[in-house]
Structure 1
Amino acid sequence: MKNFSRILKYLGEKKGNIILYFIFNLLSILFSLASLAMLAPFLQLLFGKEKLTDVQPVFEWSATGLMTALKFQLSRLISDNGPVYALAAICITIIISIFLKNLFLYMAYRVLAPMRNYVMTKLRAELYSKILVLPIGFFTEQRKGDIISRMSNDVNEVEWSVMAALEALIKEPLTIFIILVSLIFLSPTLSLFLLVLLPATGFIIGRVSRTLKKQSGTAQEQQGLLLSVLDETLGGLRVIKAFNAEKILSNKFFGINKNLNHIRNMMNFRRDLASPMSEFLGVMVLTAILWFGGRLVLNGSAGLEADGFITYIVFFTQIINPAKSFSNAIYNVQRGSAAVERIEAILMAPVKVEDSLGAKELKSFERNIEFRNVSFAYEDAIILDDINLVIEKGKTVALVGSSGSGKSTLADLVPRFHDVTKGELLIDGVNIKEYTVHSIRKQLSIVTQEPILFNDTIAGNIALGSPESAIAEIEQAAKVANAHNFITQKEEGYSTNIGDRGGKLSGGERQRLTIARALLKNPPILILDEATSSLDTESERLVQDAIDNMMQHRTSIVIAHRLSTIRHADEIIVLQKGKIVERGNHEQLIHQNGFYKRLVDMQEVK
């Protein structure tokens, strides 16, 4: 049950519903048993199989005493009003009992449905919230398709297996318990025999269901792989078609799909075995009771009359369906347990970047950003090693180096996408960890090499970081970013939907929207991952002009790929294998005739 502690916690927030559900089910069971209890003795009295009782017995709180009292009341009903009237009265009583049974059963469902939906809503919300706060490093290790699978397929599996089994896990044990208590009350001797057989059947069912959890976990992993291949296919269709790689991708997809089909078939075979097997075992137990109990009644040693024995059998038959449902529920819970574990792996993942106790707001950026003996390692791999750097307010610092030198990681430390492993990162002389994450990120904007846009309107994308902005402010930001002209040429202007990831726009248009978004936020600090490296000449000029406009009077950290764009940077930092190997402005580094000069020469040759 440890895996389901979160679900049980959510259910604990609905104690009132659980109590009502329990009460309604209890009443439903009692009315069902009441209608059955009077049937066997009444039919025996009505059709003359047993003499009517005309002397009121002394009441005893036992099975025999209750049965005798019931026979006396039924005898009075028949003798006072006639057999036809009595038959009609019993029929009406049974109808009322069954009506009340089903009424309370419906009320139980009405209470259960909002409870189930509440749990699933909370689970989805908590899972999405955790995805938002997890560090970026967490997602570099995970397949995007697998994350989506956990958010969709695994959550659905929990809903349809665990939560759907909730009804059976509460109602059916209650039904079985009440019937067993009634059976023990009717005949302790027979019930002792029964209590030996039932655990044996439960053990058999448990053995069969044991492997379902492992199979379900494998199935969920395969589902995640399937979604990952689909995501890669949709994102790389141009390359797949250009390289005639359709067969490679299709073979990969079909292989995973075939394996998933096999696993699900095996799971369904095992799950579908639950109901017929539990019914067969139930009937075996029933025949054993008929044989054993029948001998006791015939020998007069059961302490039970024939009508009581018939009632006992009728009551026992009411266990079979709840037992079937309960065994199905156990199978479903085993299936859902694997999905719960996969969801918990995300929900329990450590949030390595979070506010410290008593963290304060960074209200404004006044002086500088300082890297003091900063090192950063990821899983024992050193990415940055003993970095010392001061970025003064209003200055532009460019980060240069070969791929994997640590440029992006260094820039990512400022918005606390990662925290330093060693040393200190300070803003205005205060360790960045003493500020709230939200207030730090409020002071900066980021423009990435690949434009990140959302399936929304142009205005909605520009106003992402400043949702309260007026349309005039959005338009002004777009004008400074050289985006206003192309936006107004769209049929719906700023209300134009740009499609998934901005697919309805050109590369240059997408990048200018991200610049407009950064401008509208109007932060004092900018982090720029060379935004022009993948654009054509005309788009590059427009975007570069927009960047130049944006960088005025701001502190800028520029990750440089095209070295021609950083000639006027106040300081250029050259990184190699996580260390600063050269620093200075463009002219100084050229005169040093070192690594930077070689990079410049290589790009000029190109």
Structure 2
Amino acid sequence: MDTSAFNRLRDDFVKSPRARVAAAVGTVAAAFAYVALLVLLYLFVDLLVWKGEIPSYADLRPARKAAFAGEWMNRADADRADAVKRLGLPDASAARVAAAELKRAPTPTEWEWRWRAGAYLALRDRVNQEAADTYLPEAPAADTPDPATRAELGLLSLVVRERDRWTGRLAGWLARWNGWAWRPGADGSANDTYLAGLFVFGFGLALVRGVLLNAVAYAAAQVTIEAVTRLRRALYFHIFRLGSLAVRTSGPAEAAELVTGRVESAREAVESSLTAPYRFPLLFVLLLGLILSINFWLAVSCLLFALLVWLIGGQVAAYFRREARVGSRQSDAALSLLRESMGLMRLVKCYQMDRFNQSRVERQIAQAGRAGWRRYRGETLARPMLVAVALIAGVCLLYLAAWAVLAGDLTTPGLAVMAVALLSLAWPVAGWVDARRKRARGEEAAAAIFEFLDRRGEAAEAADAEFLPALTGRIEFRGVTLTEAGTGRKLLDDVSFAVPAGSKVAVVGSDPTETHALVYLLPRFLDPTTGEVRVEDRNIRWVTHESLRAQVAVVMQDDLVFTDTVANNIKCGDPGYTLPQVIEAAKLAHAHQFVERLPQGYETVIGGDGMSLTPGQRFRVALARALLRDPNVLVLEEPFGPVDEDTLALLDDTLERVAPNRTIFFLAHRLSTLRAVHRVFLLRHGKLEATGSHRDLWQNNDQYRRLQVLADATGETAALSETS
């Protein structure tokens, strides 16, 4: 497969550069918005846990107390002195509190004052002077280490508690620009305003992200639909440039699959390619960075456990699923043999095979049991095994997370955000895998589409093509050879014959593809590989399509009607034909009687998505379409099999009335037709094996007689009941 086919498809058919850029930018912005929502989740959980209160020194864990002692000692003397001065302590006490080291260990009260001074300095450095001044007047007295109430300062609590982490630095930056997040209200608390602000920002981010994703989807859909429209239009026009499609038995099906299934796969791949290369890798990197920044070693442990679950649980589960599939196939085979054995009762009794058959049945029952056990074991163990491994990993991770929280290395808000981010990692991973799957299908579809579009048309009109006059002489095939495109198979091999104007001839053969190939040469649905077809002693390669096809009408079983009104089916939507002309053609084809009985008459929708017609009725509508154009040459493929005698009689009457002065090629399935034509042409393996009247061929050609016998045996000449 050409791995550049999909890139070629995007370069040739995907336009709208602005929409492509908008899709990429919107995707990136949506990823950042999602991470911002996780940051807001951190702030929200922190507010719920700490209620905006700044802890006292006595509330700190030993590790945090030790870290604060080092922080205090590393502070500049001027900073310590300024902070202690603002506490309003007596000079002697202020000197002891401000000192970096004391000859004796500081008392708990002195540590409390140091902690408050340190909190003041942290707020001054991380936020601003106003925030630091807001904290100190609200601080409780040092001799009441556990007051009944504490100041609720919103975001400032996080700044003080985590000032040595990235979360504290981020909170300080946010607090510097959002004073409403910590300024106390009339009730002395900043929490209500802070909570309302978090809600507004969260709502706004969620709304913006939703708008961005919808805009991305709209832009991607716009680009994709435009590309698909151009692609389908290119395929549609190219179908009519490829004459070989009309004769290859897989041709129409191939074209339909390209326009529908293949283009749909390409659409999914194009749409995914506009967003997936940016959305999923970026979101994965952002989430992974957030997880690692919260607690590096716990994040690494989580990722290792996830890998372990995939390596052990996923692979073991995959093994058991494979076992289930193998067991299912073996069980089906064993049960099939068992059903066969159960149906041999008459044979067993007749030939006294009781013991033999019993041993066979016992063996088959045992085989079915073993296969069933293999299937059930695979089906029942695959999912529980994966769940068990995932649960074990989850318990281990829960222990590690709890240990980190108790040790002070991880906060409760951090744990909540890490859990959500870890779960969210599954989304970009699954999205990336799905995008790769769509890309692979898109590559395959693009390769098939371009293989089709790169085929050369075989029936192009010559630049100096001439007008073809009305047929009055003959139609001649001279050494016509036709090779099927793609396979190299010879459908026609050096076929030569002539048909005088006004003759009725039949073409028969064991391979419908060969007979179709011969008659498709007449309207130049395709051209011979070698040789030529001549009308009025002119090679039809050098006449205009319009003048040729105005004289040749084709009625084939593959395309009798399409989904539209009866009138449009007959006149093919050509406004040049009036309704009275349509009705006259329908009367000539004996279609008018049943059309009048349809619910809306000639305005009744028929075809695949319309009202259903019988095979004979569909054929008569198609015949009316051909007769409306009054062609000189008529190519008719007779209805297959189930057509009642009355309908066949009506068709025979129509053909008898339109036959004078008209050349008719029959792809015949009825003996009555073969008897009525002037000549029969018998094709075998692409060669014209015999030609002559029906009587001559019946008497002198074994292959012709064999074809008639097979037709009788398969019921192709039989008549079944049908409403006319």
Give me the TM-score of the superposition, normalised by structure 2. 0.56
Measured in 1, the distance between the counterparts of 2:613 and 2:560 equals 12
Aligned residue number for residue 111 of structure 1: 215
Aligned residue number for residue 18 of structure 1: 23
Aligned residue number for residue 403 of structure 1: 510
Among 464, 470, 473, the alignment partner of 2:578 is 470
Q: Give the CA deviation at 1:122.
A: 6.4
Is 1:317 matched with 2:399?
no
- Name the aligned partner's letter for residue 625 of structure 2: R
1:571 touches 1:583 (CA, 8 Å); kept in 2? yes
Is 1:515 matched with 2:619?
no
Measured against aligned partners, the alpha-carbon deviations of 1:94-131 in whole angstroms (never above 9, x if no partner) come to 10111112101221342244456554796599579858
Say if 1:559 and 1:329 are closer, same or farther in 2 by CA, change over 3 A: same
Q: Give the CA deviation at 1:325.
A: 1.8
Say if 1:156 and 1:422 are closer, same or farther in 2 by CA, change over 3 A: closer
Q: Give the CA deviation at 1:531.
A: 5.5
Measured in 1, the distance between the counterparts of 2:429 and 2:492 equals 56
Say if 1:346 and 1:96 are closer, same or farther in 2 by CA, change over 3 A: same
Is 1:528 matched with 2:528?
no
Instruction: Write out aligned runs for 1:232-251 (5 A).
Output: none
- Name the aligned partner's letter for residue 396 of structure 1: S
Measured in 1, the distance between the counterparts of 2:607 and 2:417 equals 63
- Name the aligned partner's letter for residue 37 of structure 2: S
Measured in 1, the distance between the counterparts of 2:283 and 2:179 equals 30
Measured against aligned partners, the alpha-carbon deviations of 1:175-198 in whole angstroms (never above 9, x if no partner) come to 3323444566778x6599579849
Aligned residue number for residue 98 of structure 2: none
Measured against aligned partners, the alpha-carbon deviations of 1:219-252 in whole angstroms (never above 9, x if no partner) come to xxxxxxxxxxxxxxxxxxxxxxxxxxxxxxxxxx
Q: Give the CA deviation at 1:15.
A: 1.0
Measured in 2, the distance between the counterparts of 1:113 and 1:107 equals 10
- Name the aligned partner's letter for residue 57 of structure 1: D
Aligned residue number for residue 87 of structure 1: 191
Among 424, 439, 444, the alignment partner of 2:552 is 444
Measured in 2, the distance between the counterparts of 1:275 and 1:493 equals 64
Q: Give the CA deviation at 1:88.
A: 1.7
Instruction: Write out aligned runs for 1:247-396 (5 A).
Output: 313=415, 315-330=417-432, 332=434, 347=449, 350=452, 354=457, 360=463, 364-366=467-469, 370-378=476-484, 379=487, 381-390=489-498, 394-396=501-503
Q: Give the CA deviation at 1:25.
A: 0.6
Measured in 1, the distance between the counterparts of 2:618 and 2:688 equals 33
2:589 touches 2:654 (CA, 8 Å); kept in 1? yes
Measured in 1, the distance between the counterparts of 2:609 and 2:416 equals 65
Structure whose alpha-carbon radius of gyration is higher: 2
1:374 touches 1:424 (CA, 8 Å); kept in 2? yes
Is 1:57 matched with 2:125?
yes
Say if 1:579 and 1:66 are closer, same or farther in 2 by CA, change over 3 A: closer
Q: Give the CA deviation at 1:6.
A: 8.8
Q: Which runs of 5+ in 1 are unaligned?
A: 219-262, 299-305
Measured in 2, the distance between the counterparts of 1:418 and 1:194 equals 68
1:279 touches 1:320 (CA, 8 Å); kept in 2? no
Percent identical: 20
Say if 1:438 and 1:571 are closer, same or farther in 2 by CA, change over 3 A: same
Aligned residue number for residue 46 of structure 1: 52
Measured in 1, the distance between the counterparts of 2:317 and 2:526 equals 42
1:533 touches 1:562 (CA, 8 Å); kept in 2? no
- DSSP-derived class of the 1:57 partner: helix
Measured against aligned partners, the alpha-carbon deviations of 1:307-348 in whole angstroms (never above 9, x if no partner) come to xx6665455334223212234435655776787688668645
2:521 touches 2:528 (CA, 8 Å); kept in 1? yes
Aligned residue number for residue 34 of structure 2: 29
- Name the aligned partner's letter for residue 105 of structure 1: R
Say if 1:467 and 1:320 are closer, same or farther in 2 by CA, change over 3 A: farther
Give me the TM-score of the superposition, normalised by structure 1. 0.65
Measured against aligned partners, the alpha-carbon deviations of 1:337-365 in whole angstroms (never above 9, x if no partner) come to 78768866864563657367785597853
Say if 1:469 and 1:4 are closer, same or farther in 2 by CA, change over 3 A: same
Aligned residue number for residue 252 of structure 1: none
Measured against aligned partners, the alpha-carbon deviations of 1:366-417 in whole angstroms (never above 9, x if no partner) come to 367553322234546543211124556x443624444338433311333455
Equivalent pairs, count: 539
1:572 touches 1:583 (CA, 8 Å); kept in 2? yes
Instruction: Write out aligned runs for 1:78-227 (5 A).
Output: 78=182, 84-114=188-218, 119=224, 133=239, 135-136=245-246, 139-140=249-250, 171-182=279-290, 193=300, 197=304, 200=307, 204=311
Aligned residue number for residue 459 of structure 1: 567
Instruction: Write out aligned runs for 1:548-559 (5 A).
Output: 548-559=656-667
Say if 1:433 and 1:515 are closer, same or farther in 2 by CA, change over 3 A: same
Measured in 2, the distance between the counterparts of 1:56 and 1:325 equals 41
Say if 1:205 and 1:75 are closer, same or farther in 2 by CA, change over 3 A: farther
Measured against aligned partners, the alpha-carbon deviations of 1:135-162 in whole angstroms (never above 9, x if no partner) come to 2555549999x98899589969997x99
- DSSP-derived class of the 1:512 partner: helix
Measured against aligned partners, the alpha-carbon deviations of 1:516-553 in whole angstroms (never above 9, x if no partner) come to 01122444432122469865554334312322444454
- DSSP-derived class of the 1:102 partner: helix
